Amino acid sequence: MREVRVIDFHTHIMPDWVRREREHYASVDPCFAALYTNPKAKLATAEELLASMDEASVDVSVVLNIGWTSHEMCVRTNDYLIEAASLHPDRLIPFCALQPASPERAVEELQRCAASGARGIGELRPDIQGFSLADSSLLSPIVEIASARQMVILTHVSEPVGHAYAGKGTVTPEQPYRFAAEFPQAVLVCAHWGGGLPFYNLMPEVRQTLSNVYFDTAATQYLYSPDIFSVVERIAGSDHILFGSDFPLVSQERALQEMDKAELGSATRKLIAGENARQLLSHGGTQIERA
């Protein structure tokens, strides 16, 4: 088995039929509209992601769905991600979309996707999908299944301050913190550096609560200076950071270049670039060779 050095924990792919009908889906789905109404917003297929991985020397990519408000669109696009991963099992790891606001159907879909090889849930968009990460009664059945199957839950998180951007939303650090406090057994990945949540690790009780929470680096260049890597490393630990590009919004090659600007030590870079992700995903039975 080949060595795996780089795992991109945050990429998005879509079936080509979604791209062909993007105006239609932007008119009927709020999450898709927030992300892709602008015709310049890139959509990519699995084949285009694989080409990007070859160009950037990315070994494995976690392929995420989006926070569709329609359960039916979750199912249809989940099928695409699972099929793509089945064709490239050593390169693509699928996560599945759920609509938790339809709890019974979300549980059924999670069980179906887990049985078909999905390794996680995400990218959740609570603000657009109409639920809260703090709603423990709603999320308990989903978390129970995910924890039993050692699946990762990945949610969008954004900053409560700073500039506006397409898809920023209103899921700020308080929500994932309350989720982590309610479900300490769950493995939670907070996208986009958790909207600043790791900064609160300076509070001892927060650090303890976030012991099972990880932060991906998706879209770093649009949010923070490269200093974010060393700052979060000191506050939260290099073992809680996962490299993510947010492809195709950001090219994988450019995202790796942004990480290199941080001038991390070799051991730290190895953890962030792939080793942390390998360990997380291996807990659920996915076999990824150590670099």
Alpha carbon distance, N-terminus to C-terminus of the chain = 11
Share of the chain above pLDDT 70, in %: 96
In a domain? residue 142: yes
| CATH code, domain with 65 | 3.20.20.140
Give the pLDDT score at 54.
98
Q: Tell which residue, 96, 105, 95, has the closest CA to residue 71.
A: 105
Q: Tell which residue, 59, 49, 10, has the closest CA to residue 274.
A: 59
**Any idea what the Cα angle at residue 77 is, between residues 45 and 83, rounded to 5°?**
70
List the structure tokens of 73. Answer: 């669109």
In a domain? residue 268: yes
Give the pLDDT score at 143.
98
Q: What tens digit of pLDDT does each residue of 9-57 get?
A: 999 999 999 999 999 999 999 999 999 999 999 999 999 999 999 999 9
Give the pLDDT score at 287.
64
Q: Indicate the pLDDT class of residue 1, thresholds 50, 70 and 90.
A: very low
Give the pLDDT score at 285.
61
Give the pLDDT score at 283.
73
Instruction: Tell me how many domains the chain contains.
Output: 1
In a domain? residue 196: yes
Query: Which domain range does residue 259 map to?
Result: 7-282
Distance CA 213, CA 207 (A): 10
Q: Indicate the pLDDT class of residue 284, thresholds 50, 70 and 90.
A: low
pTM of the model: 0.96
208-235: average pLDDT = 97
Dihedral (C-alpha) 77, 81, 87, 92: value to the nearest 10 degrees?
170
Share of the chain above pLDDT 90, in %: 95
Q: What tens digit of pLDDT does each residue of 158-214 get?
A: 999 999 998 999 999 999 999 999 999 999 999 999 999 999 999 999 999 999 999
In a domain? residue 146: yes
In a domain? residue 166: yes
